Structure 1
Amino acid sequence: MNNAAPRQLTFRAVLLAVVLAVILSAANAYLGLFAGLTIATAIPAAVVSMGVLRLLGGGTILENNIVQTGASAGSSIAAGVIFTIPALVIMGYWPDFKYWWVLGIAGLGGLLGVLFSVPLRRSMIVEDPLPFPEGKAAAEVLKAGENPGPGMKILGLSAAIGGLVKLAAASGLRLLPDAWTQSAYVGGSRVTAFIGTNLSPALLGVGYIVGLNVGIVVVSGSILSWHIAIPLYQAFFIDGNPALAGAIADAGASDAAFAIWGSQIRYLGVGAMLIGGVWTLFSLRKSLLKGIKSGFAAARKSAGAVQLAETERDLPMKWMLVALVAFTLPLLGLYQAIVGQWHVSIPMTIIMIVAGFLFVSVSAYLAGLIGSSNNPVSGITISTILFASAVLVLLMGRDSALGPVAAIMIGAVVCCAAAVGGDNLQDLKAGYLVGATPWKQQLMLGIGAFSCALIMAPVLNLLAHAYGIGAPTAEHPNALAAPQANLMASVARGLFGGKLPWTMIALGAGVGAVIIAIDEWLKKTGKRFRVPVLAAAIGIYLPLELMVPIFLGGLLAHLVERFHKLKPDDEDGRDRVHRPGVLFAAGLITGEALMGIAIAIPIVASGRGDVLAVPLGGFAGIWAGLSAWVGLFVLFLVGLLLYRIGKKGEQA
């Protein structure tokens, strides 16, 4: 009888996991800078792993689980980096992304996230299990992995479609615009009416993955900004801001709306996000304390055991503490190199460690409830930056030029740790369901996270030079918005003597409080539909055109559910039915994002943004009038194909 344990942490599994992690982290970095959202990548990684390992002679379910564990670190590290580190460039502290600094922040933050999540596994997965929807779905994909061929075909087809549409768009061949928009002043007034949608298939895919509930919430937030707040400000308050009134006096309707949104209205989203981050911490306080105590108690019990089953063995607690010290000392040196004052760098490091552990716990808990794709890591990070800034104001003074930089550095490490921590528990849930060894997964997550950190700075520099990051400029009129990083920079600078529209932020906090109250009422009355405040805040903070395709993608997912007559509580059936659609959506996102990075290479090499543009000659004027409608039709065709593939589903 052969009692050998199934293969798990093999060389080929580690190598494949690292390759996928690097590719998916680059794709998520582009997506996050573009749309302010990242997606979990465990399921596409699992499908690719099953296909590749089958070509190499077959792989065990535990090998495939190791691959998806390491590869999924790509989304978490990318989120942690792009939500925070671009703020240092936006603030002008860095002219570009410094390789060793980015590696230190992202690598050490990611490894801390792995360490901090270890004592939480038993309490959140074994003793008092949370749903961890994406971990559960990944486990189902792994269990059904006898025939990965159809899934690979779906991924390949959709990635090609997403890539080709991106190549044809404004940053590539310039045959299609990035968005279809219509705007006009209403009647004889100076009040703007604005409608439009981005033409990105990736955003349609994001919407399919996050679902109709989140899609409705984010587009409602944008409608609040663009169809209510901007017209009200134009009609009644513009005269109180002479500089803005003069700037838009002769502007077109669209330019006027974007100017008002950029300088005033988007800060409603800042206020809503701030109150949402504080509320998240407050509402989870009892559950978090219980989970942390349970995790440490389980770790002490395990340390005294003679032998544990393979499926119960975490990384040893004593080595966790040694690694914690080893990772903390470089961070102390990093902070000292910034501020040059030990009485500041030591408290910064302490804040980072305490906040890191607390927010990894918050992130893990939220990932367990609503999934990693919906995990409000940005709200967690804002809370960290607010608290760190308050302490640093006391230590460095309100006029310190380095204060905002120091606060962003703390937030960046915590953000990377929190993103990795939530993703880690998601993967450990999948491993628990398929019988994996926890310490091997935890080690693989550390390897995957650090591998992604190695390529973050080059990817960010490539995107910054090709497209621009932050506010549009003459050189980069379609810059990647980097909404969270812009938000972090605004908050940090505002607390150190900078100018912020505090009235708008306060109003936004009030809006956030109302949204929280509505969500609590929905929760108490047992409604399935919820209104997560941080999702609404993202909608308020971002342009309407980005939220519309996300809503449409969520609507497609809902129509697929209606076609299969799924009941509200039929979670297992929902996972299986949506699997082909989720794979198609993930392919759209990955293909478009990777093409965006590929297009950036010739742009940077030539120094010309139009290096790939197709010369249209005398046909250019005619095509300019038609291209937006052609782009809208292309998006319709992609959506139709997504619906048809999703409708086929798998047997529920």
Structure 2
Amino acid sequence: MAHGSPPISEDRVPVAQTLATVAHTPYVPPDKSPAEMTMRALVLGSVLGIVFAASSVYLAIKVGLTVSASIPVAVLSIAIFRALGNSSILENTIVQTTGSAGESLAFGVAAALPALLLLGYDISLTHAFLTAALGGVLGVLMMIPLRQGLIVQEHGRLPYPEGTASADVLIVGEQGGTNARTVITGFIVGGVYKLAYSGMKLFREVLSTPLQGLKSATVSTEVSPELLGVGYIIGPRVAAITFAGGVLSYLILIPAISFFGSGLETPLLMHNGQLIRDMSPDQIRNAYVLYIGAGAVATGGLISLIRSLPTIVGAFKRSLETLKASRGQGAMPQLLRTEQDLPITVVLGGSALLVLAIWLAPPLEVNLISAILIVIFGFFFVTVSARITGEIGSSSNPISGMVVATLLITCLVYLLMGWTSSEDRFMALTTAAIVGIAASNGGTTAQDLKTAFLVGGTPRRQQLALFVGVLTSAMFIGLVLVTLNRGATVTIPEPHPGVKVTEFSNETRVQHTFSWAVSADALAARGLDEAALRKAVWAQGYELNTQSGAMELRSWRDVSSQDLGAVTLNVSSGAPIKVADLGAVTDGPKRTYKEGYVRGADTPVPAGKYLLDESDTIQYVVDPGIGGRISVYEGQQLTRYAAPKAQLFSLIIDGILTQKLPWDLVLLGVFIALMLELCGVSSLPFAVGVYLPISSSAPLFVGGMVRYFVDRIRGGESDFSPGTLLSSGFIAGGSIAGVLIAFLEIATDGAGTRALNLPALLGNQGGLGGFLNMVGESEHAHPLWSNLWGLLFFAGLTLFLLRSALKGQSAAMSPPPQKEA
């Protein structure tokens, strides 16, 4: 059994940890042919792959990490098939293989593609699908000829820890042991808990308080089941290092910038000319600390890659040697079932078709040179990734470092070629994304091939299952990413007279306006002012504009004046009141706005999407949910996803191609990372903590502390012990609930999520409604009591995790049964 924390993870936190390799003789001998690649196995594997891919996308845009899906998928497959009757171990292997393929795509898609939003583009479903599918297929194709050398000939030298652990789970399940109930319990609890605060607003999602005596210092935490689960899995050391990075940002850097900058009379690095003394802590973070964090993250990723260089060079050399040797012996036919790979013609033909598809697919906008770079980097990093995961596991595989290296070299080539336009940035990001997906998928595919090798699976069937898993998950990963972004995207008034957009789209937006005859006496009678009224109107999805001197209601939805007049406003000074009770609502003119994008190096406003009136003047910003720069508007906390890796990639592209970057701040981050390395502390998780909001790293720390106590009491945790499996359920359940809430927001144009909002529905006048408005997610929430109420729920969830992790005996607590000779 593995003890202590798992290895420090760059991108994917491990569920499986190193166990002893099972005997070389496969569990199912080659002369036996039980049911294997059945239709139900492919369907179940695809469904589970989509579920865990969706949760991985959610985590990747939130904290820049994903979670290995191999163990939970294997456990759930055993339980589901047992409920349906029976299954063979090889059928469960196909499910596990198909399911894990989807998760391997999620990181590359969710880490890289959101950078398009930061560069002033939209995320296209077609572009996301092609990027995921082509990168995934590239990874699988290149692993086919490597299997004989890396998995078979290197058996006993390359342990492939996650693949070996997955094989152990499947063998234990074949003998009757399973912990699927724990995963399902975590899934249900995590989903219901997420719905309670994110949908029904029964308690606040982010608990925050200023730190008295230290200007601009804040302490905050999310009450998130998925981040609690991630913290438990990565363990106390990595969780504590990540949280320490958040402490540096929010309790040292932000207060220091506020202290030293409060006397400045000129703005620094800000598009809107805002002075430091007028900034909130979050605004200081977005304007300055993010650049410091980006420098630290990039340095940590490159250090990880440099540390791996001896392994990378040796891995590539040995892989080519074993590939050549295995192909030199390939004249004799492979007759045994367990030795049948897809033919080399599939690899060569598929690779040629991939090059053409990458080059010719219009949504990718990749030229021939970039297509060649993708093939070169893809071949190199897939080979390296497969070898590294075999030696030290997927958790220490520096995928981000590989993507950063690809991006740096690609951008330098572009700079030498004079390709510095916004379209070239789009192409550079697509190039790096496909390479990153291929490398990530290559490492996961190698683990899956090891699992099949140990249990006695048929390689060619498993390779076909990998293609199925890649393509089915690719169809949904982009949809999940777009859904999460659109569900949290907000159109906010932000006039920029005289600013020209870089490019217009073919889309327009129609705004419905209404005159609202509200008198000053009507407001005074209810103790209201214009600011309070504006907040109440915005909370219902409408805009109040008074620029012309009269009150005008605006809506992006097609509503009638009667429907708008019946809308109930929750105001702080009294009972809820209908819009029409304050004044008559009459139809006004419809206005049409054009969509435009600001991109490029010398932009007077941040890159992004804007809405322009008939005179081509910017009136609104369409602030995305992923990487959006506005977190609070009219007193409402907006859902935002930090997407730390995407922020880093966009900074690299802009920094090299525009040659304009605040290098002073970036270099501060570089030297912070170097200082940590000199102190013997891994800089990457610390740098990620600097980059993330402290509210995201705090629940990681809580989960890590729970793991610490469990390790002390139980003597260590294994890959499918109760705490790890329950945490996996928390992650999947909470993430899927978040995706469904975002989908409901889009499908109902906000009406569905407003119908779930209990504090708004019940009002703020005494009874249950008054209580929920005081302690829930509401603009009327009491700062102290709402924090304590949210902490109570989070403490209950944490104690449930601790109790479950300590209770009972896991199937993994004893070695898996060995096959009889």
- Please give the TM-score of this superposition, normalised by the length of structure 1: 0.88
1:524 corresponds in structure 2 to: none
> Could you say what secondary structure the match of 2:661 adopts?
coil
Q: d(CA) in 2 for partners of 1:598 and 1:148?
A: 34
Q: Secondary structure at the match of 1:320?
A: helix
Q: Secondary structure at 1:83's aligned position in 2?
A: helix
Between the aligned partners of 1:106 and 1:59, the Cα distance in structure 2 is: 31
1:148 CA displacement: 6.7
Residue 552 (structure 2) aligns with: none
Question: Residue 418 of structure 1 corresponds to which residue in structure 2?
Answer: 439
Given the alignment, which residue of 699, 708, 713 partners 1:563? 713
Specify the alignment match of 2:483 in structure 1: 462
**What number of residue pairs does the alignment pair up?**
618
Alignment of 1:23-422 (within 5 A): 23-94=51-122, 97-128=123-154, 129-146=157-174, 151-169=179-197, 171-184=198-211, 186=213, 191-236=215-260, 242-243=266-267, 247=274, 256-285=280-309, 286-307=313-334, 309-334=336-361, 338=365, 345-373=367-395, 375-398=397-420, 400-422=421-443
Structure 1 residue 49 displacement after superposition: 0.7
- Tell me if the contact between 1:219 and 1:544 (Cα under 8 Å) persists in the aligned partners: yes
Could you tell me whether the CA contact under 8 Å between 1:18 and 1:448 is conserved in 2? yes
Q: How far does the alpha carbon of each residue in 1:89-123 deviate from its partner, in whole angstroms, 9 at most, with x for none?
A: 332222xx322222211101110011223344445
For 2:146 and 2:296, locate their aligned partners in 1 and report how far apart those are by CA, in whole Å: 29
* 3-state DSSP of counterpart to 1:471: coil
| Structure with bigger RCO (C-alpha 8 Å, 6+ apart) | 1
Counterpart selection for 1:627 from 761, 773, 786: 786
- CA offsets, 1:250-288, max 9 Å, x none? 65xxx6322222121122232223233333333333332
Output the CA distance in 1 between the equivalents of 2:644 and 2:30: 55
Farther off after superposition, 194-203 or 326-335: 326-335
- 1:546 partnered with 2:696: yes
Are 1:435 and 2:578 an aligned pair? Answer: no
Residues 276, 284 of structure 2: 8 Å contact kept: no
Q: Distance in 2 between matches of 1:318 and 1:513?
A: 47
CA contact (8 A) 2:217 2:254 kept: no
Matches of 1:34 and 1:273, distance apart in 2? 16
Mapped contact 1:363–1:418 kept (Cα < 8 A): yes
1:504 aligns with 2:657: no
- Read off the aligned partner of 1:329 and give its amino acid letter: L
Q: Which amino acid aligns with 1:328?
A: V
- Rounded Cα–Cα distance in structure 2 between residues aligned with 1:616 and 1:68: 46
State whether residues 281 and 362 of structure 1, in contact with CA within 8 Å, keep that contact through their aligned partners in structure 2.
no
Other structure's SS at 1:500 match: coil
CA distance in 1, matches of 2:237, 2:336: 41
Residue type of the alignment partner of 2:795:
F
CA–CA distance in 1 between the matches of 2:226 and 2:725? 12
- Once residues 306 and 210 of structure 1 are traced to their aligned partners in structure 2, the CA distance between those partners, rounded to angstroms, is 45
Match of 1:640 in 2: 799
Contact 1:119 1:292 in 2 (8 A): no
Q: What is the TM-score normalised by the length of structure 2? A: 0.71
> Could you tell me which amino acid in structure 1 is paired with residue 732 of structure 2?
T
SS at 1:478 equivalent: coil
Contact 1:51 1:148 in 2 (8 A): no
Counterpart CA distance in 2 for 1:241 and 1:281 is: 42
Which amino acid is the alignment partner of residue 348 of structure 1? Answer: S
- Over 3 Å counting, the alpha-carbon distance change for 1:288 and 1:374 in structure 2 is closer
* Identity percentage of aligned residues: 34
What letter corresponds to residue 548 of structure 1 in structure 2? A
**Mapped pair 1:612 → 2:640:** no
Secondary structure of the residue aligned to 1:197 is: strand
Higher helix share: 1
How far did 1:2 drift?
A: 12
Task: From 564, 569, 586, give the equivalent of 2:728.
Answer: 586
User: SS state of the match for residue 176, structure 1?
Assistant: coil
Give SS of 1:144's match: helix
Between Structure 1 and Structure 2, which shows a larger proportion of strand residues? 2
One-letter amino acid matched to 1:471 = G
1:303 counterpart SS class: coil
AA partner of residue 124 (structure 2): K
| Map of 1:575 onto structure 2 | 718
Counterparts of 1:428 and 1:611, CA distance in 2: 48
**Distance across 2 between alignment mates of 1:476 and 1:108:** 38
CA distance, structure 1, for counterparts of residue 682 and residue 393 of structure 2? 13
What letter matches 1:269 in structure 2? G
* Alpha-carbon separation, structure 2, partners of 1:312 and 1:515: 47
Partner of 2:647: 486
Gaps of 5+ in 2: 1-28, 489-624, 776-780, 815-821
Residue type at the aligned position of 2:754:
D
Question: Is the alpha carbon distance of 1:112 and 1:150 closer, same or farther for their aligned partners in structure 2, counting shifts above 3 Å?
Answer: closer
Call closer, same or farther: CA 1:257–1:179 in 2, change over 3 Å.
Answer: same
SS of the equivalent of 1:195 reads: strand
User: Residue type matched to 1:428 in 2?
Assistant: L
Structure 1: which amino acid aligns with 2:427? A
Distance 1:28 1:593 in 2: 8
Letter in structure 1 aligned against 2:126: W
SS in structure 1 at match of 2:112: coil
What secondary structure does 1:307 align onto? coil
Answer yes or no: is the 8 Å Cα contact 1:114–1:442 preserved in 2.
yes
